[in-house]
């Protein structure tokens, strides 16, 4: 994971190199987090020029792609390869169903196009391996989207890297989203059909909580767990070796009906003898006044560090405040720009990105090993 001085906000903003060429960006399917495409476009060196997808995708996919293209006043092309060639694309940004991520990324890489991809990398390790090979063979840059440039995460990384707590020994990450995901567990009446996964995720698009969209149900470990593992990877600068995990569907009926977890606990063996734990899940809107408790606790040979990911934040309370409005608003966030600045630098210099193809593959492998451990009850090696 490349985290050099480019992560410094001040350094990034004063670089004259920012005025280099502008990269032409294709949005390859934008059916879930359109904030990824918007985040890419937040950097002045990246310009969205076309939205594209395969002709055979379902109508609702075309509709979402079309809407985004109209908003951005760019064309929507129902042919990925044609769009990449006709519009002389430099960068593809992909935010679609998890099972299509790698396919679209590989096809872009094979045409010499750099890739920014939403999480997770894939829900199959074999797909990740194909993508790793394609990225290497074609010499393009790959970056998985993350929250690693949030102010608190940057601060934590800099404190650890500068040795202020000595050599790191352990890290714990809490990553609880306090959003609801439909009706609570136990709410399905006898005789009612189970909640269909894809239909539910499609409906959840309205509030942006459709990160696990796809035909194959995906639990919170595969969905939000990526963020927590990306934090551990960046801050501890380590490899993941073995994992023990427990999972449960304790909160939401849709998770129960589809056999995927909404909460997980993970113990990780890291390189150099370091250890990590994390707790990840969607714990319901009632369980936190804001978006959720996201916290990092790190110990080292000469000190320790407690970090609230949400800070800096501002409390705003007023008469008549809607119940669903967060009381605390995050401020000073520059995540999108800094991620894309890191990506631009990697393209310019031929270096690695913040969350490159190898780190992203390792995160996927770790999650799949954790799910395997949850079934076997064993301490599983990470492939």
Partner 1 sequence: MIRLALIGGGWQAAHQLAQAILRFRELSITAIVPEHGDTEGEEIVRASDGSIVVSTLDTLLAEYSDTFDAAIVRSHLSRRVSVACLVARAGKHVLVQSPMASSSEEATRLLNACNSAGVKLMVGCSWRFRPSIVAVKRALESGKLGRPIFLRIHAWMPQVVSTSTTFLPELVELLDLSLWIYGELPNEIFGMAGPGYDMPGKQTSDLHSHLAFPSEGMALVSLTHSLCSSSGYNCLTLIGSSGAAYADDHNQSQLLYKGGQPAAIKTGEELQELIGLLREFTESIVQDRLSSLTSTEGKDALVLAEWVLKSATERHPIRRIGDLYEPRL
Binding of partner 1 by 174 (CB under 8 A): yes
Tokens of 273: 């003898």
26: helix, strand or coil: strand
The DSSP-derived string for 131-144 is HHHHHHHHT--EEE
Binding of partner 1 by 379 (CB under 8 A): yes
In angstroms, rounded to a whole number, what is the distance separating the alpha carbons of residues 364 and 124? 8
Largest CA distance in the chain: 65
Nearer to partner 1, 217 or 281 (CB): 281
Please report how close the Cβ of residue 255 comes to partner 1 at its closest, in angstroms.
Answer: 13
| Torsion sign (Cα): 234, 238, 239, 242 | negative
Give the CA radius of gyration of the chain.
Answer: 20
Nearer to partner 1, 216 or 287 (CB): 287
Find the binding residues for partner 1 in span 302-341 (CB under 8 A). 302-304, 306, 308
Binding of partner 1 by 275 (CB under 8 A): yes
Binding of partner 1 by 163 (CB under 8 A): no
Tokens of 207: 């509030």
Strand 46-52 and strand 76-77: the pairing is parallel
Please report how close the Cβ of residue 291 comes to partner 1 at its closest, in angstroms.
Answer: 13
User: By rule CB under 8 A, what string of x and - marks binding of each residue 185-214 to partner 1?
Assistant: x-----------------------------
Please report how close the Cβ of residue 279 comes to partner 1 at its closest, in angstroms.
Answer: 6
| Torsion sign (Cα): 161, 163, 167, 169 | negative
Nearer to partner 1, 184 or 351 (CB): 184
In angstroms, rounded to a whole number, what is the distance separating the alpha carbons of residues 94 and 138? 18
Binding of partner 1 by 216 (CB under 8 A): no
Among 246, 328, 330, 372, binds partner 1 (CB under 8 A): 246
How many residues are there in the chain? Answer: 383
Please report how close the Cβ of residue 219 comes to partner 1 at its closest, in angstroms.
Answer: 14
In angstroms, rounded to a whole number, what is the distance separating the alpha carbons of residues 76 and 50? 6
Residue ranges in contact with partner 1 by CB under 8 A: 167, 169-170, 172, 174, 176, 178, 184-185, 244, 246, 248, 250-251, 263, 265, 267, 269, 272-275, 277, 279, 281, 283-284, 286-288, 293, 295, 297, 299, 301-304, 306, 308, 377-379
């Amino acid at each position: 994971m490349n985290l050099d001085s480019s992560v410094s906000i001040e350094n990034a903003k004063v670089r004259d190199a920012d005025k280099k060429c502008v990269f032409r960006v294709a949005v390859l399917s934008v059916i879930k987090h359109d904030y990824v495409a918007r985040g890419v476009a937040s950097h002045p060196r990246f310009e969205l020029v076309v939205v594209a997808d395969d002709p055979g995708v379902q109508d609702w996919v075309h509709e979402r792609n079309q809407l985004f293209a109209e908003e951005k006043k760019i064309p929507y092309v129902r042919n990925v390869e044609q769009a990449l060639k006709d519009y002389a694309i430099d960068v593809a940004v992909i935010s679609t169903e998890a099972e299509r991520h790698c396919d679209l990324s590989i096809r872009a890489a094979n045409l010499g196009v750099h890739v920014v991809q939403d999480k997770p990398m894939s829900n199959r390790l074999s797909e990740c391996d194909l993508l790793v090979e394609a990225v290497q063979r074609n010499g393009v840059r790959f970056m998985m989207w993350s929250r690693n440039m949030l102010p608190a995460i940057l601060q934590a990384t800099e404190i650890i890297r500068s040795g202020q707590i000595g050599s790191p020994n352990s890290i714990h990450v809490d990553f609880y989203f306090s959003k609801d995901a439909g009706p609570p567990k136990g709410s399905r009446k006898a005789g009612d059909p189970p909640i269909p996964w894809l239909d539910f995720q499609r409906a959840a698009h309205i509030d942006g909580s459709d990160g696990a969209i796809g035909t194959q149900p995906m639990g919170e470990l595969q969905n939000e767990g990526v963020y927590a593992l990306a934090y551990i990877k960046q801050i501890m600068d380590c490899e993941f070796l073995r994992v023990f995990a427990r999972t449960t569907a304790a909160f939401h009926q849709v998770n129960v009906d589809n056999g995927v977890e909404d909460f997980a606990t993970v113990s990780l063996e890291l390189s150099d003898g370091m250890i990590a734990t994390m707790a990840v899940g969607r714990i319901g809107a009632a369980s936190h006044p804001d978006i959720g408790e996201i916290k990092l606790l790190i110990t080292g040979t000469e000190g320790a560090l407690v970090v609230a990911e949400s800070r800096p934040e501002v409390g705003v309370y007023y008469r008549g405040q809607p119940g669903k409005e967060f009381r605390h608003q995050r401020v000073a966030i520059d995540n999108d720009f800094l991620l894309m600045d890191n990506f631009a630098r990697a393209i310019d210099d031929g270096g690695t990105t913040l969350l490159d193809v190898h780190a992203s593959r390792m995160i996927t492998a770790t999650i799949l090993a954790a799910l395997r451990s949850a079934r076997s009850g064993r301490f599983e090696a990470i492939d």
